[in-house]
């Protein structure tokens, strides 16, 4: 398939990266480990002016969060944008982003969870490929060395990224054999479904859909996937890559694996579960918006780099 997305330059030693908080609030002590990692890679992390702002469950007012994003996109010295965390709030600011600045000087944007909304907006407004991976509010107990190496490779190398299904992952049994090619799009399931009806919801025709989630009971997973089915969003997809569904259990006998198998297993496309992508331990990083190959028979997802 044509690689017609906007792929920013790979990060190099000496490059400045801005740490932004487009969604929920964080604290300097939570970001200190992320700064240590980025510095160890030879990068120059620069906290945005409002990176540690707080207004309830938001990292400051909408105008402040949007201003930090636009400052990062407009500053030629800044070569990457690393979100500190997810939470909630990115959808409130995406319409304020200066997409002309994004297109004029594309930069790699990394994050996950609520940042799915930001990556969808950047895809819609600039066809900017992104990086679905841990934020700068780093926790070694959840994202150990392998997670750090995975993020580093995605930010600094133009080589394809391959992630293999892991038997220890809860979603590993979710599988429909087969092989498919398509652009990898998606991320957090809540944010995908919240994007339906907005300008940012991507056309998933011919795409490989990535889904992951955290702390949502199986019936809510069922509701979201059923919504995607009923509105036609899954019509014509090429495959589904199933990441981590972390702490997604309640008191009912029906498990999240049961729901994923039921709602995805009859779509007539390859489905691969067990991918360590999401909110769980050992989270790995993948590009989004770029061509990919999902092989559910061999258990691998290979994605073209988001950087060049």
Residues 169, 170, 212, 213: which is the catalytic one? 212
212 classed as catalytic: yes
CA distance 160 to 148: 17
What distance lies between CA 127 and its chain's CA centroid?
15
Residues 113, 147, 195, 305: which is the catalytic one? 113
CA distance 9 to 17: 13
113 classed as catalytic: yes
Closest C-alpha among 171, 170, 173, 223 to residue 194:
223
Closest C-alpha among 165, 75, 133 to residue 307:
133
- Name the strand (E) or helix (H) holding 17: strand 16-20
Q: Which residues pair with 293 in a beta bridge?
A: 181, 302
Residues 147, 150, 216, 279: which is the catalytic one? 279
The catalytic residues are 113, 212, 279
């Amino acid at each position: 398939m044509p690689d017609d997305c906007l792929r920013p330059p790979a990060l190099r030693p000496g490059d400045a990266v801005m740490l932004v908080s487009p969604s929920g609030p964080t604290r300097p002590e939570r970001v200190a480990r992320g700064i240590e990692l980025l510095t160890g890679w030879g990068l120059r992390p620069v906290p945005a002016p409002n990176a540690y702002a707080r207004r309830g469950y938001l990292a400051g007012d909408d105008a402040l969060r949007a201003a930090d994003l636009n400052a990062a996109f407009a500053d030629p010295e800044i070569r990457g944008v690393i979100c500190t965390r997810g939470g909630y709030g990115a959808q409130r600011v995406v319409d304020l982003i200066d997409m002309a600045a994004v297109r004029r000087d594309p930069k790699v944007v990394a994050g996950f969870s609520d940042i799915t909304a930001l990556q969808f907006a950047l895809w819609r407004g600039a066809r900017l490929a992104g990086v679905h991976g841990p934020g700068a509010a780093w926790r070694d107990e959840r994202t150990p060395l392998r997670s750090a190496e995975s993020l580093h490779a995605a930010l600094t190398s133009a080589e394809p990224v391959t992630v293999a299904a892991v038997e220890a992952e809860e979603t590993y049994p979710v599988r429909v054999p087969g092989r498919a090619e398509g652009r990898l799009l998606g991320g957090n399931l809540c944010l995908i479904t919240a994007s339906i009806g907005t300008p940012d919801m991507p056309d998933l025709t011919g795409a490989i859909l990535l889904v992951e989630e955290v702390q949502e009971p199986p019936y809510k997973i069922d509701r979201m996937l059923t919504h995607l089915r009923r509105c036609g969003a899954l019509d014509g997809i090429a495959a589904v890559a199933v990441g981590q569904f972390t702490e997604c259990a309640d008191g009912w006998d029906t498990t999240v694996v049961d729901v994923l198998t039921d709602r995805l297993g009859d779509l007539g496309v390859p489905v691969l579960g067990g991918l360590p992508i999401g909110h769980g331990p050992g989270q790995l990083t993948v590009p989004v918006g770029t061509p990919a190959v999902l092989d559910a028979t061999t258990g691998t997802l290979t994605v073209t780099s988001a950087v060049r």
